[in-house]
Amino acid sequence: QEFASALRDELEMKLDATVLLIRSSTWEVIYNSTTTIGNLESTKETLKKNFFELSEGFGFLDDNLNLTSIKSDSRGFFVYCKGYYIFCITRLTERIDSDIYRILYAELLLFFDRVLTVSRLFEIAALSKEWHLIAETQRSFLPKELPKHPLMKMATYFQPLINVSGDFYDAITIDNDHILVVMGDVSGKGLGAAMVMGIVINAIRTASKKTDLPAIVKKCDAAIHEMGFDDKYTVLFLGLIDFTVKKFFYINAAMPDQFQIVQTIKGPVIKRLESNNSLIGLVPLEQIQVSETEIRSNDVIILTTDGLLELENDEGKPFDEHPDTHKLLYKSREMNIEDTVDQLATLGEVYAGNKQLRDDITILGIKMERLWD
């Protein structure tokens, strides 16, 4: 429904277009505009005849709805990806910059990847109790590789308590100057948590403007509500690294304090990036607050969930209050970020001692390189 609304608002209305969304395997019309040409059965049959067997990509339509390579004479365009055709019939096709079509195709690939993965979660849940398959599908949401940027380095650690985790993280390159980082924890464990996690990550990755943190939070909140769960929610940390102004903007929606290790004239200091918003998906959102902090060369940012921070030793002292934890964080400015993350994870496992771990442990570490010429 949300995707159909986007087709209507972004293509149909803005381009004065007729839009059809068709499943290629059956040529079932999923969505079509209410225009005359959109409702004609002959339109569907003509498109099926002309576009039945194509490779994925985008192209253009002529006046007879045939495939054409000449953009200037085209009557519309189409995108074909992941088993779906989107046809857009509009006289404005030739005015649209060619790069827009490539961007649209790339964004739709990403969108359908996530939608199909979420659908697979529901399918597995309905047909079986193969939890390892659910866990495997869930982990496919996590980034396969971290952003590479000359001004910073990243490292992660992810250890679910059970196969299906409630923790999730992400890191997305927006452009050369902006990187979005994500850390979250869905309420509960098991199938429900896996589904909410998939929906939230999909909402973040398909956000049209990833530098607009409040808009992303609202989209995540709406996505959870649309699932119809009464007791599911997520806590979430969204951070935007902005190298143009050398700042880190963030929303901490009911997550534990996150950490930034900075240098002062008295030595390294641990700054706490405290919660500034309520949890997402359960209670009505109030005004969404965005906080900011300056970033300097060699600054370290550690994002993690309560699975690590609320670990207690045999004396009942929380992990984030222990001198050994602080000592490691102070040293992190002089270490590479991979070692910092690995040592934090190891320290957490040792810290629990004889106590059994009760939650997932997830860490995303970021270290700034030289930010000033």
Instruction: Give residue-wise pLDDT tens across range 235-277.
Output: 999 999 999 999 999 999 999 999 999 999 999 999 999 999 9
Based on the fold, state whether residues 203 and 264 are members of the same structural domain: yes
Higher pLDDT, 131 or 372: 372
Condensed to tens digits (0 to 9), the pLDDT of residues 348-368 reads 888 766 665 666 789 999 999
- Domain stops at, among 76, 110, 144: 110
Structure confidence at residue 17 as a pLDDT band (50, 70, 90)? confident
Whichever domain contains 142, its CATH number is 3.60.40.10
- pLDDT above 70 as % of the chain: 87
Residue for token pair 């629990």: 352
* Lowest mean pLDDT segment, chosen from 72-86, 129-143, 322-336: 129-143
- Whole-angstrom Cα distance, residue 259 to residue 228? 34
Mean pLDDT of 62-88: 87
Average pLDDT, the chain: 85
Separation between Cα atoms, residue 223 and residue 217, nearest integer Å: 10
pLDDT at 178 over 90: yes
Q: Are residues 173 and 238 in the same domain?
A: yes
39 versus 337: the higher-pLDDT residue is 337
Do 90 and 190 lie in a common domain? no
pLDDT at residue 367 in the model: 98
CATH, residue 56: 3.30.450
- Rounded distance, CA 217 to CA 200, Å? 9
Q: Determine which of 67-71, 120-124, 267-271, 291-295 has the lowest per-residue pLDDT on average.
A: 120-124
- Residue 333 is classified by DSSP as G
Range of the domain at 198: 129-368
Go through the chain and tell me how many residues it has: 373
Between CA 64 and CA 49 the distance in angstroms is 12
Pairwise pLDDT comparison (55 vs 128), residue with the higher score = 55
Amino acid at 270: I
For residues 222 and 287, give the distance between their C-alpha atoms in angstroms, rounded to a whole number: 15
Decide if 115 is inside a domain.
no
Strand pairing class (18-23; 84-89):
antiparallel
Asked, for residue 373, whether it belongs to a domain, the answer is no
On the question of pLDDT at 128 being above 60, the answer is no
Whether residue 162 is found in the same domain as residue 75: no
Is the residue at 213 inside a domain?
yes
- pLDDT value at 127 more than 50: no
- The pLDDT-based confidence of 38 (bands split at 50, 70, 90) is low
Long-range contacts of 116-122 (CB under 8 A, 24+ apart): 116/82, 117/141, 117/198, 117/202, 118/195, 118/198, 118/199, 118/202, 121/191, 121/194, 121/195, 121/198, 122/195
Beta strands, E only, 176-257: 178-186, 234-242, 247-253
What's the mean pLDDT in 127-150?
A: 73
**Do 186 and 226 reside in the same domain of the chain?**
yes
